[in-house]
Amino acid sequence: MAQSSNLKIYKASAGSGKTFRLTVQYITMLVNEPDSYRNILAVTFTNKAVAEMKQRILSQLYGIGHNLQGSQSYYEEVKQAVGLDEQTIRRNALLSLYKILQDYGRFRIETIDSFFQTVLRGLARELHIGDGLTLELDTGIVVDEAVDSFLAEVQHNSPDKKNIMAFVESNIEDDKAWKIDKTLKGFSQELFKERFMEKGQKLRLMLSNPDAAIDYKRNLTAARNEIKQMFEEDILEKGREFETALSDSGFGMEKLASNPQKVANKIIDGTILDTNLTKTFQNCIDDPQKFFTKATLKDYPQLSSVAGGLSDIFSEVEALHTEYTRLKNSYDLALQYIYELSLLLSIRKEIDRQSEEQERFILADTPQLLSELKEGDTSFVFEKTGSFIRHVMIDEFQDTSRLQWRNLYILLLECLASRQDCLVVGDVKQSIYRWRNSDWNILNSGLEKELSTFGPTVISMDSNYRSCRRIIEFNNTLFPQAVKVLAEYYKEKTGTDYPALAHAYDGVEQKSPKTDISGYVHAEVITENFKSNELLDLICDKIEKHLDRLIAGGVTQNDIAILCRKKDHISGIAEWFAQNRPEYNMISSEAFQLSSSVSVRILINALKWLSDNSDTIALAQLVWDMECYVKESEKSFDTIMAEGLESHLPEKFTEQQASLRYLPLYELTEKLYGILELNRIRGQDQYVMTFFDLICQWLSHSTGELSAFITEWDENLCSTPIPATDVNGIRLLTIHKSKGLEFHTVIVPFCDWKIISSRHDERIWVEPEEEPFNMLPFIPVGFNDRLGKSVFEEDYRKEAGLQVVDNLNLLYVALTRAENNLILFSNRPLKGGYSVNDVLENCLKEVFDCTDTDDGIVYECGEISPHNEKSAETRNNPFNLKPDSQKLVMRSYPISANFRQSGDSTRFIYSDEDDGERREEYIETGRLLHNLFATIRTKSDVDAQVDSMLREGLIGTIGDAYKLKDLIHSHIDKSGVTSWFNGNYTLFNEASIIFRDGDVLQTRRPDRVMITPEGHAIVVDFKFGREREEYMHQVREYMNLIKKMGYHSVEGHIWYVYNNKVTDC
């Protein structure tokens, strides 16, 4: 018997007030029990949603407690739910607010990733994770580093090396680029796809055999060749039958019509298998008389009786061709990524090695790890969060992934089994993050089934409080028709129905609580074809005209948002308006990248030229930008070139270039900002500040090498966007970033994305069932039309259905952001294919009263709604106050600071009687020498390491660097220790020796341990002060510990570097 339900599932369509519902539910629990926030876990999927939810709860607790008008609707809902008197409700609201503010760390509203990380850190001891664990969010960086390291370090005769060479040779044979690093980096992202994480265990076990993938390729290649030979023999047999049928009737091939004769010849010579069947082929099957011309049939009427037999042979050939194509596609697809697959496990091992070395944990691995852990003691896992969770509230449930749901499901079960209230809110129609592993099918069909034991209460929130009535009515008419159109398209494409589409959009029509009929809708479908530049100009021209109308109609720039599917469209619109209508202030982080900044461009080219004086392109770009934007010169580029590029550089820059090269990266860039007088270029402060922040961020996980930064800039950092500010203007956003937001007026241009995509790099994972494809349990295949004509056709249908819903959802999210005015422009995609444009064109023609235009059709309804001031009734609520914007201006201040060592460095002092200045010099030099000896392997490493220390700011001047190099080389030679730095030893610099002293673990760290090829150990400690007896005891202890490690022949030395003296121990 089902238990009474404590679980509510809200199907919350766009604008239906889900945040209001979540807030009411949360506050209801707090009013009933003010301490209950400690036991409530509320999860959503973005930091922005977390901040909004926290702010809403705190502000409404305050508003209810102080009887503010803006919180009256919340108060009424809470009162109805709790049944307490007004005084108690208001008192408990304020009490809850006070407790939360005093105990904010247990106010558990967080992203799902944050929650899982909390659990993970709680399990640090069990997982052997150290306190220094760093969390890596960017899998792209992880993969790039691992692939580069893997390719650089792969052993010469290893299986991986053979697979790499086979991969390169295959690319060359196929006329592809021989460099495989980019391909491997792209494919290795599959390691972090949940489909691979969930299903890839058997595959990983098989790939532990380095020959498994290549054996698979060899076997499938042999099978493919055998299949082709078999089908070719069958086709040749049909060719002979065709000739016989004609000859038995007394005729030859010459009596056939021209096109049928060409087709027949391909059957006879067996080449038809490798060509597509033409319309002529099908016509001859449908109407056998098509084999001959009318004139031939008139002259030889007996051929009519022959035509039927020929048609039957064509039908048999068609069946053979179809089956051969099906199998050929299957073999080609199964082998498409075989080389990448052969290297995948090695790359994963390299990722794990680097993660262990860097004490790093990858965020994308968290759900899988927790999923494996919870298969044991579930309560043990979640108790590690440091709190006892009794209530679970999940927002944006449609964005949950399978692994995330598997983890949350257990937690939800425990709460429901204890008869505690839980809540889930979501909307399948707003699921647009499947590329981030989300699975809308969980909400669409799986959730209610999996929790059916608890009899969940499903509540449909079908009222739209956001949009005006005309916008609601437009969407209510559009989307049911769009579902119908897409259902027909899917069936035509795959031959099957897709009921999940209709189920996802069941009840898409919304009610409007507003009584007035207001709002404005303009939907325009462009049916003509245009080139890329022409299309951008056309769309921007249409946007411009509507912006003029909107502004004239009382709409402000702040009211307007332009939503695009692609970032390229955002950049194109921003640049077009900057050139043609600069009075329209376009605001977008996607549009304004660091590489578009003149000041940043100047800094980068200056860095490039300092790094490589032969880079004349960087020098030319640097000089030209300086002339145009700093000096505001009117000289032509030819004139500048004739006068000499370097003569146009600032004098300080050319004079100091030698010393500038040795500055640490951040200090170098800041100094360049001053020398090049970039403060003279207006409107660049935000770009420059973002650039400096980017440098700091990059330095936090990199060596600081200038050339490495330039490489990273060219490959990745140049596209970094500057953060969008709250300045006045028109917002430019991607549809994905607009989700959860609302705007007074929305313009959606470029509605041209394909319904079913088939990019060259798009792939899915399949579980083959037919032999021989199932020799590997799980393989990647390219997603394209060929997949639908292969043994993997069911996988094609499933992915195609998911894409249909995904791309309709994008349109739904875009068209439901508008409050008052909605404008959209649809165009045909540049590369063709069935797209959203086709859907909109069908819908507008079938169910709307449209008007024809020169380039398409238009539907328009209502009048433009002007700007309306938001209610100011919440101004007396401190939690609703917004901070005032502050304008920041870039300033560069010179810093002059000398390094000071701690008091412990007195052990480096050469003599207690040295004067203070001499003591300080010894301390500084001793510190540098000790650090340097800890990093070098051979004598040839000295100069490069000193240069690196100079760039990092550890050495003050170039002169100091030269002195230090001479000092080190001199002491190595004079002390007779050259053999220690010849590279012939297995070397351990500053390596820890861990041993047990009774019940206590102890650590010792000798400066340098060298092991000869014969197994003889040499222990060396570097000293930079006077001789001391305790140093002898210290080295002898090291020697005894190394002997206990199994090295029977051990010698030890103390090198007093300043004295050029080596003491044996």
pLDDT, residue 907, reads 42
Task: Quick: pLDDT tens for 157-181.
Answer: 888 888 888 888 888 877 777 788 8
* pLDDT tops 80 at residue 540: yes
**Banded pLDDT at 126 (limits 50, 70, 90):** low
Between the alpha carbon of residue 727 and those of residues 587, 731, 890, the distances in Å are 8, 10, 18
Q: Give the model's pLDDT for residue 761.
A: 73
307, 292 contact by CB (below 8 A): yes
Angstrom distance (rounded) from CA 550 to CA 867: 10
pLDDT digits (tens, 9 = 90+) for 74-111: 999 999 999 899 999 999 999 999 999 999 988 999 99
Same domain, 404 and 543: no
Q: Is residue 788 part of a domain?
A: no
Does 914 have pLDDT greater than 50?
A: no
Q: Does residue 938 share a domain with residue 1052? A: yes
Gap between the Cα atoms of 150 and 160, Å rounded: 10
Per-residue pLDDT band at 930 (split at 50, 70, 90)? confident
What average pLDDT score do residues 1027-1034 get?
Answer: 84
pLDDT at 931 > cutoff 50? yes
Q: Which residue has the higher pLDDT, 977 or 1025?
A: 977
- Interval 717-739 mean pLDDT: 83
Q: Is residue 771 part of a domain?
A: no
Domain count, the chain: 5
Q: What pLDDT does 906 receive?
A: 39
**Cα dihedral across residues 703, 707, 709, 712: positive or negative:** negative
CA–CA distances in Å: residue 395 to residues 443, 736, 813: 12, 17, 17
pLDDT confidence bin for 870, thresholds 50/70/90: low
pLDDT of residue 913: 44
Residue 945, pLDDT > 50, answer yes
Q: Is 784 within the bounds of a domain?
A: no
Compute the half-sphere exposure of residue 36: CA atoms within 13 Å on the CB side of its CA: 19
Hey, which residues does 136 pair with through a beta bridge?
A: 362
For 716, phi and psi rounded to 5 degrees?
-135, -50
Residue that finishes a domain, picked among 343, 358, 373: 358
Please measure the distance between the N-terminal and C-terminal CA atoms of the chain and give it in whole angstroms.
Answer: 82
The mean pLDDT value of the chain amounts to 87
Q: Higher pLDDT residue, 363 or 482? A: 482
Which 3 state secondary structure label does DSSP give 491? helix
**How far apart (Å, rounded) are the C-alpha atoms in residues 324 and 328?**
6
Are residues 987 and 1050 both part of a single domain?
yes
**pLDDT of amino acid 910:** 39
* Span 696-708, average pLDDT: 82
- Domain-embedded: residue 803: no
| Residues 1006, 1011, 1014: CA angle, nearest 5 degrees | 155
Among 151-165, 523-537, 714-728, 957-971, whose mean pLDDT is lowest?
714-728
Q: How many CB atoms lie within 10 A of CB 243?
A: 15
Is 73 domain-assigned? yes
479-499, pLDDT tens digit by residue?
999 999 999 999 999 999 999
Bond from prior residue into 772 cis (ω within 30 degrees of 0): yes
Q: Please state, in angstroms and rounded to a whole number, the distance separating the CA atoms of residues 198 and 371.
A: 10
Judged against a pLDDT cut of 90, whether residue 662 lies above it is answered with no
CB 610 within 8 A of CB 660: yes
Does one domain contain both 623 and 634? yes
What pLDDT shows up at residue 315?
94
| pLDDT confidence of residue 228 | 93
Helix axes 706-715, 598-611, angle to 10 degrees: 140
Q: Is pLDDT above 90 for 859? A: yes
CATH of the domain at 23: 3.40.50.300
Is 453 found in the same domain as 535?
Answer: no
DSSP lists the bridge partners of residue 533 as: none
482, 808 Cβ separation under 8 angstroms: yes
pLDDT of residue 563: 97
Angle between helical axes of 181-188 and 338-357 (0-180°, round to 10):
80
- Residues 413-456 have pLDDT tens digits of 888 988 899 999 999 999 999 988 899 999 988 788 888 888 89
Give yes or no: residues 79 and 156 share one domain: no
pLDDT band for 731, please (50, 70, 90 cuts).
very high
Tens-digit pLDDT profile for residues 768-804: 999 999 999 999 999 999 999 999 999 999 999 999 9
**Two tokens at 837?**
């444009």
| Single pTM value for the model | 0.79
| Mean pLDDT, range 976-984, rounded to an integer | 86
Is 869 part of any domain?
A: no
**pLDDT for residue 860 is more than 90:** yes
Share of the chain above pLDDT 70, in %: 92
Task: Please report, for the domain that includes residue 830, its CATH number.
Answer: 3.40.50
pLDDT at 321: 95
Q: Which residues pair with 197 in a beta bridge?
A: none
The domain that holds 951 is classified in CATH as: 3.90.320.10
From 431, 461, 491, the end of a domain falls on 461
* 656 and 636 housed in the same domain: yes
Say whether pLDDT at 462 is over 50. Answer: yes
The answer to whether position 997 is within a domain reads yes
pLDDT of residue 874 exceeding 60: no
Instruction: State which of 342, 358, 374 marks the end of a domain.
Output: 358
The one-letter code for the residue type at 929 is L
- Both 439 and 302 in one domain: the answer is no
Q: What share of the chain is helix, strand, coil (3-state, %, to 5)?
A: 55, 10, 30
Quote the pLDDT of residue 29: 95
* Alpha helices, DSSP H, located in 36-128: 47-65, 72-82, 86-102, 112-122
User: What pLDDT band is residue 902 in, cutting at 50, 70 and 90?
Assistant: very low
386 vs 321, more confident: 321
pLDDT digits (tens, 9 = 90+) for 404-413: 898 888 888 8
Tally DSSP H helices, then E strands, for the chain. 39, 25
Over the stretch 239-286, which tens digit does the pLDDT of each residue have? 999 999 988 888 888 889 999 999 999 999 989 998 989 899 999 999
Segment 973-983 shows an average pLDDT of 85
Regarding whether 269 and 315 lie in a shared domain, the answer is yes
- Choose the weakest-confidence range: 102-111, 633-642, 677-686, 993-1002: 993-1002
If asked whether residues 937 and 1044 sit together in one domain, one would say: yes
Q: Decide if 790 is inside a domain.
A: no
Average pLDDT rounded to a whole number, residues 459-487: 96
Q: Please determine, for residue 892, whether its predicted confidence score (pLDDT) is greater than 80.
A: no
Q: For residue 385, name the pLDDT band (cuts at 50, 70, 90).
A: low
Q: Do the strands 7-12 and 422-426 form a parallel or antiparallel pair, or are they unpaired?
A: parallel
Cβ neighbours for 123, distance < 8 A, ≥ 6 positions apart: 129, 373, 381, 384
Same domain for 287 and 147: yes
Q: Where are the beta strands (DSSP E) in 434-577?
A: 457-461, 520-526, 560-564
Specify whether 256 is located in the same domain as 379. Answer: no
The residue with greater pLDDT, 971 or 524, is: 524
DSSP H stretches of helix in 556-645: 567-580, 598-611, 616-625, 637-643
Q: In Å, what is the CA distance from 231 to each residue of 226, 241, 773?
A: 9, 15, 19
The tokens describing 103, both together, are 């105990």
Domain containing 304: what range? 134-358
